[in-house]
Structure 1
Amino acid sequence: MTPQDLPSTGNIDGLVALAKTYFDAAYAMDADTFATIFDPAALVTRRGDGDSVVVTPVAAWLDVVRSLTSPHDAGGVRADQILSIAMTRDMALLKLRLRIPPREVTDLLSCFYLNERWQIVQKVFAAETLA
C-alpha cells in the first residue's frame, strides 16, 4: 500500500458514516444492513458466564440479530453516542454507546480500510441492564 492509497485524515467522515449506519442497523435490528459494514471474516466477542469469553463469527451473530425484536418495533427511544474515534493509517477503533432495551450497550469496533471503505473486522461489546 502506497501513501496515496491510505485513507486521509479527512476520511474520519467515513468512520462517522459507518457509525451512523451501525446505529440505524441496531435500531432496526437489520442484519442485512449490518452485513454491509462488517467484513465477512469479522468476529463478535463478549464476556460469557464467569470469566469466560465468547467469540462468534459474524455470520452466526447476524443469524441471532435476525431473530431479535428491534428497539424500533419495541417503541424504544434512540440514545446513540460516538464516544471516541481513534484512527491510524488504515485502521481505526470506534467506541460507541447505544440503547437496545432493556440494555445499554458499549461497543468497541475495530475497523480496517479495505476495498476503498471502512469495514468492521472485530466487535467487542458489553451490555448493562437499564435501571
Structure 2
Amino acid sequence: MKSADELAVDELMDRYFDGLYHSDSTVLRTVFHPALAYVNATAGNHEFMDIDAYMTRIDNREPPAVRGEKRNESVDRVTLTGRQMGLVEARMTMMGRDYQDLLTLIHTDDGWKVITKVFAYQEKG
C-alpha cells in the first residue's frame, strides 16, 4: 500500500504529464516550485531557464493534444528521502522526441513540488 506522500507524488506526476500534453502553464505552475531550475542536458543543446521563461515557452507552443499525438509516458522510479525531498525518473514521447526527465522534488507547505527539471531527449528516427 502506498503512503500518502507516494500518492501525492503520483497525483503530481499526473498533473505534470497532463500539463505538458496540453501545454497548460496554469496546470504546470501547480507542479513546479516558483524557484524552478530547468536544465536541458541534451548534448549540443544545453539550456537553462527559470519558471517564467519555461512557462512562456509552454504557452507559445502547439500542444501535442491539439496535434492528436498519442500519449506515451511513464514514471520509471520514485525515491522519497523522508518527507523533505525526492527524485522522480520519468520518460515521455512528444513532439517527435523521446524525453528522459530527472525531477527533484521538495516538500513545501503546499505539498510536493518539482524544484529542478533536468532532462535530455533524442529525436525519433
Q: TM-score, normalised by structure 2?
A: 0.91
The corresponding residue for 2:58 is 65
Residues 1-131 of structure 1 aligned to structure 2 (within 5 Å):
9-47=3-41, 50=44, 53-89=46-82, 90-131=84-125
Contact 2:42 2:121 in 1 (8 A): no
Q: State the structure with more CA Rg.
A: 1
Structure 1, 97-106 or 82-91: larger mean CA deviation: 97-106
Amino acid at match of 1:120: V
Cα distance in structure 2, aligned partners of 1:42 and 1:75: 29
Letter of the structure 1 residue corresponding to residue 115 of structure 2 = V
Q: Secondary structure at the match of 1:120?
A: strand
Q: CA deviation at 1:100?
A: 1.2
SS state at 2:72 partner: coil
3-state SS of 2:52 partner: helix
CA RMSD of aligned residues (A): 1.7
Aligned residue pairs, count: 123
- For the residues of structure 1 that align with 2:124 and 2:110, how far apart are their CA atoms? 38
Q: Percent identity?
A: 23
**AA of the residue aligned to 1:77:** K
What is the deviation of 1:17? 0.7
Superposed displacement of residue 116, structure 1: 4.2
- Counterpart of 1:97, as a letter, is R
Work out the CA distance in 2 between the residues paired with 1:9 and 1:92. Answer: 14
Displaced runs of 4+ in structure 1, greater than 6 A? Answer: none
What is the TM-score normalised by the length of structure 1? Answer: 0.87
The one-letter amino acid paired with 1:47 is A
Counterpart residue type for residue 80 of structure 2: M
Asked whether the equivalents of residues 104 and 127 of structure 1 are also in contact (C-alpha less than 8 Å), the reply is yes
For structure 2, the residue ranges without an aligned partner over 5 or more in a row are: none
